[in-house]
Amino acid sequence: MKFNLDNLVEEFNELEQSLGNPDIFKDQKKVREVSSRKKAIEEAVNIYKEYKSLSESLEENKAMLSEESDEEMKGLIKMETSEAEEKLPGLEERLTFALLPKDPNDDKNIMVEVRAGAGWDEAALFAGELSRAYMTFAEEEGFKVEITEKAESETWWVKELIFEVKWEWAYSKFKYESGVHRVQRIPETESKWRVHTSAITVAIMPEVDEIDVELNMDEIEMKFTRSGWPGGQHANKSDSAVHLKHIPSGTIVFCSDGRSQHKNRDKAFQIMRAKLYAFEQEKREKELWEARLSQVGSWDRSEKIRTYNFPQDRITDHRIGQNFSGIPQAMTGKLGHIIEACAVADEQAKLEAAGKGQ
């Protein structure tokens, strides 16, 4: 047979047995590791079982065909053999894709951070537009969206925005958006009709908890300030906003989303863990992409990944070298075709890398 994955089936059975042992639940980190690994190989195991069973039946039928003298029975065997031969290539293709390396974060909730970069107000304007496009896309995909932190200029121009996207496979839908997004267009304030270039950064951070990232409180600076809620009995009367700084990395988090200091503190630490986790993951992903997808480029957030050229109505994804039209539609959340193109390029790169490794 082309595939021999009995060892993978054995591993899957062992993982199932481990999860059936009550003692494992004393270590939640171990439970998550075992569950994650089981989930990662389950599809491949199920397809392989079907593939193996069909392959064995095919071999048996071929052997029977050479020994069978009854013409009617031969006809039935030939029919079953033909059906198996037609079905096997499809199973092989499905199994090949199922065996590709899985991203352990694909099924996680995420935090999306959009920040205005070079270009001043024009960057803040585009940051707001792309943020709204992301949130609309997420809601149309069935995800729950909740804004966590927002620093805005007038008319919803965004200097920095963090929002959560919750439901299964959120990370898998957004993970290709991390990086620098460049916009080229004529600003409303431009009197000479010159095209300006500005940029924003997008970070897609899988949701993590204390099991994933352990923070050393000796490395955290924390202070509280007034949130500045507008009017009413709660206005500026309590220090509910939370500032966190991770000293080794210089990562800063500010959270003033709610009036409760306790809730803001919990949310700030959640964002901090997500940022630190994403930072470490980004380094690993960059190494992987540089190794297997040099023709596309890495997914480093410091690199320009996409350009939105408004005068020419062209969106260019520089990693896959592909152009898309329809910027007005994209800004209303119609981003699925672009995200899908990135996912296809990713899978193709993994297939090529797997082929070279054989």
Using CA atoms, how far apart are residues 225 and 238, in angstroms rounded to an integer?
Answer: 8
Per DSSP, the chain holds a count of helices (H) and strands (E) of 8, 11
CB 158 within 8 A of CB 174: no
CB 117 within 8 A of CB 200: yes
- Listed ranges 12-16, 62-66, 74-78, 289-293; the one with the highest mean pLDDT: 12-16
Domain ranges of the chain: 6-98, 110-351
- Listed ranges 134-143, 159-168, 262-271; the one with the highest mean pLDDT: 134-143
CB 163 within 8 A of CB 146: yes
Average pLDDT over the chain, rounded to whole?
Answer: 82
In the predicted structure, residue 7 carries a pLDDT above the cut 70 = yes
pLDDT in tens, 35-69: 888 988 999 999 999 999 999 999 888 888 877 77
pLDDT in tens, 214-248: 677 878 888 877 654 343 334 444 567 888 888 88
At 210, list the tokens.
Answer: 């204390």
Question: What's the fold here for domain 110-351?
Answer: Alpha-Beta Plaits (3.30.70)
Using CA atoms, how far apart are residues 132 and 143, in angstroms rounded to an integer?
Answer: 14
Residue that wins the pLDDT comparison between 83 and 278 = 83
CB 346 within 8 A of CB 176: yes
Q: Sorting pLDDT into bands at 50, 70 and 90, what band is 297?
A: very low
Full strand arrangement of the beta sheet holding 251-255? 220-225, 241-246, 251-255
